[in-house]
Amino acid sequence: MNLPCPQCNCSETEPMPAAFIDALARLPRQKASHPFDIIHDLLGIGPESHKRRSQPERVFLNKVAPPQRIPYVPIMGCWYLAALAVTLIPSNGGTLACYVIYFMGGFNLHQAYMFNRNEWPRLFDKWERSYICRDCGNVFVDDV
């Protein structure tokens, strides 16, 4: 059942999960022939990313994409490398600086964990209940 859009009163609305799957299905699939293409396919970054999708397709795909969790591995890796760099630099305050960096890294990990545990499920639930209007692009939530 499609709900009418509250902005333009159009009945051409679609649930966000269905719009996201449809947008992914419309993306052109090309065989990766270059290492940058493989990196782009895995991570979504690289020099070929601008050639794969047109600007309107990227904007629409970003608009209907589900909320993302915060990954833990990049946070841990960055803070570990920072602490390692501090310990390798010969100085008097290296140990204290290392403890401060570990504390800050732990705090960032805690923030990411709390977001993934508390906030992300609410955002994902809201995304699952959201609709997008195909005419005006308005995103609204079904509060029934």
Range with the poorest average pLDDT among 23-32, 68-77, 111-120? 23-32
The average pLDDT across 102-109 equals 83
**C-alpha–C-alpha distance, residues 70 and 4, integer Å:** 34
- What pLDDT score does 114 carry? 92
* pLDDT value of position 86: 72
DSSP tag of 116 = I
Give the residue extent of every domain in the chain.
13-141
Count other Cβ atoms within 10 Å, centred on residue 62: 9
CB environment 69-101: b (16+ within 10 A), e (fewer): ebeeeebeeebeebbeebeeeeeeeeeebbeeb
pLDDT greater than 50 at residue 2:
yes
* Chain position carrying tokens 């805690």: 110
